Amino acid sequence: MKTSFSSRLPLLALILVFFLLSACVTRQGVVLRIPQETLEAKLAERLPVTGSFLSVFRLRLENPRIRLDAGSGRIYLRLDAQVWVGGKEPARGKELARGEIEASGGIRHMRPEGALYLEAPRIERMRLDGIPAATLAPLQAALAEILSEHCAKHPIYVLDSQEHTFFTLELESITVAETGVVMTFTSKTPNPAPSDSSATGR
């Protein structure tokens, strides 16, 4: 019995979706790979971020560069930083310093919204030209607080509508590889209640 082309369309569409998502099927399940470049581009869309610290100082973070460390399971993030006083925008205030900070964190997945968050972020390195050395320690503490609050509220990546197709499956694991974040799904029946999955770095 011959099968019409139209009857094959749903199967062809499903195959195309899997191809576009750079996913592959293994014995362990369906694997979705999110490349480093994609993470970086999506994060750049959510920046710059501004905040205030020590009552009078303003901070802007922008231009993210991501480095993935498979050994520790952490995502390293470098950001250009600008510090000024007066005015909500740098152009309306007085610039005090420019430089960059490097932070790192584990990866956490929130199933209801299909979002990936930087978990337990910490500042690894900070360079701000124009800031006295004696001021760097309290400044780093203030920046760490700003970064932690921002990362708790704003994801670094949100799965799009096509990627949400995988939510008919159950997330088995999420890991940080050298070239991207790898999410492995299985065909097990998901729990009725939303659940979180994370792979926190050491």
Rounded Cα gap, residues 154 and 77, in angstroms: 15
For residue 13, tell me if it sits in a domain. no
Looking up residue 125, the CATH number of its domain turns out to be 3.15.10.40
Give the angle 80-175-11 at the CA atoms, nearest 5°.
110
Rounded Cα gap, residues 119 and 108, in angstroms: 6
* Model confidence, pTM: 0.72
Distance from the Cα of residue 88 to its chain's centroid: 26
Read off the pLDDT of residues 53-79 as tens digits, 9 standing for 90 and up: 777 888 889 999 999 999 999 999 999
pLDDT, mean over the chain: 78
For residue 11, tell me if it sits in a domain. no
For residue 81, tell me if it sits in a domain. yes
Least confident of 13-17, 25-29, 103-107, 197-201: 197-201
Closest by Cα among 106, 88, 108 to 195: 108
CB atoms within 10 A of CB 2: 4
Full residue range of the structural domain in which residue 157 is found: 21-199
For residue 58, tell me if it sits in a domain. yes
Number of domains in the chain: 1
Read off the pLDDT of residues 84-103 as tens digits, 9 standing for 90 and up: 888 777 777 888 889 999 99
For residue 143, tell me if it sits in a domain. yes
Q: Look up residue 90 and give its amino acid.
A: P
Whether the CB-CB separation of 116 and 155 falls below 8 Å is answered with yes
